[in-house]
Chain A
């Protein structure tokens, strides 16, 4: 992050002195009207970078505390990563509806939403930050929340698994689309006889540079296996795993349900490679490690459970702000009590820009960050 020495932008840009004066006035108001400050509108805007579930939840909470928000989203829509899912674990609730509810809340007089707007530079001012967007417009604010999120792993990087080469190899997000359309079909457009899921694609894999566990794929595969069996009871479903980590509330129960009620077969072994068969299906190689024997299996669909990586925005902004943590994620001040703070005052963090999280975690993290911001602005 650059430290500002002299103003570099046009006349629209408030001078540092002006920013300071406005900050002082906030302090005065809050001190005088401490008892009724819930009703006092904070005159200063908070900038939120990223309109995913964490960013949107933070915006909602900030406006509940009468704090104006300017939200930046690089994509044309809000909440895309969640919206790309059909149903979410562990209760099979509708992901689209969740995003819809959150997006509706953004229609608020205190919230300005800027879609298709990427923040390209962040300049640190005395007691403020100036964000420069891709249209060249500067926005000076006393507090910034970085909620720039994650990106699904690109399975093409695991070439040996044949994603983008064989039609029968798909990723877990493509399966979500198929499930939404109720069209889980093989490459020939027929009902699949067999579907194989492979865990840890892009996670826990030194060969792609990611040592970490994305932590949501295990339960996602269990959820998707059940959804497949509900739509196609005659399809055989196998899940190949290295370790199954069903750590959350209700996850283990879902795993049992998948085994007991849906006859999903769990195989302890990683798939080392996939190849096409003459009839457009996919042959995989693995080992049943509990048996100690290699195995081959032909499947209609191979579903790669792709993990979470820091989004390009997260990587870029983490670097410009000097907050880059492991694997391109951003680093918080400390993981226990200061996880929404960065080592820069007024610069806050929320959601999957820090590490893989599930939806509820990201939402809670956005909410927590908003409260940290309010605490900071009222000081």
Chain B
């Protein structure tokens, strides 16, 4: 077929119809406090990895909520598990443990 130099771009929106809700539910079952997040951003504000490496745990777990897992495993490697995020969270989300479980879930479900 002749190449006209055009292509159809893939849709950039999240297709929630393809989502596997089970993965999110499994994570929520392991870290129930995760459900309480109100996205205030205190975790990312205090995060040392976030200041230097652009690590954003809030963004990561929001992507995971929509089952958008691409690249997350690599991003999560930036976390040093210092636990400051857990200390500042006003909703008491156990973020440090969430990161550990996320890493494991991503490694198990490739």
Contacts and interface: CB of A to CB of B under 8 A. Distances in A.
Interface of A: 160, 200, 204-207, 242-243, 268-273, 285-289, 292-295
The residue among B41, B45, B89, B90 with the most chain A CB atoms within 10 A of its own CB is B41
The residue among A204, A268, A286, A289 with the most chain B CB atoms within 10 A of its own CB is A289
Contacts of A200: 90
Given A287-B45, A294-B47, A270 B56 contact: no
Contacts of A285: 45-46
Interface of B: 38-47, 50-51, 54, 56, 58-59, 88-92
Contacts of A294: 41, 44-45, 47, 50-51, 56
B58 A206 contact: no
B90 A207 contact: yes
A206 B58 CA distance: 18
The residue among B38, B39, B42, B50 with the most chain A CB atoms within 10 A of its own CB is B42
B45 A272 contact: yes
Contacts of B43: 272
A193 B44 CA distance: 27
A288 B56 CA distance: 11
6 contacts: A207-B89, A207-B92, A272-B43, A272-B88, A292-B58, A292-B59
B47 to A, nearest CB: 7
Nearest to A285: B45
Contacts of A286: 41-42, 45
B45 A271 contact: yes
Given A206-B90, A292-B56, A272 B38 contact: no
Contact of A269 (B40, B50, B54): B40
A268 B42 CA distance: 11
B88 A273 contact: yes
Contacts of B50: 287, 294
Nearest to B36: A206
B58 A289 contact: yes
Nearest to A293: B56
A200 B41 CA distance: 13
Contacts of A270: 40-42, 45, 90
Nearest to A160: B88
Contacts of A272: 42-43, 45-46, 88
Given A242-B38, A270-B45, A287 B58 contact: yes
A293 B50 CA distance: 8
A200 B76 CA distance: 30
A287 B92 contact: no
Nearest to B91: A206
Contacts of A204: 90
Contacts of B58: 287, 289, 292
Contacts of A287: 41-42, 44-45, 50, 56, 58
A290 to B, nearest CB: 9
Contacts of B89: 206-207
The residue among B40, B42, B88 with the most chain A CB atoms within 10 A of its own CB is B40
Contacts of A269: 40-42, 45
B64 to A, nearest CB: 14
Nearest to B90: A205
A263 B43 CA distance: 28
Contact of A289 (B40, B46, B51, B92): B40
Contacts of A268: 41
A317 to B, nearest CB: 29
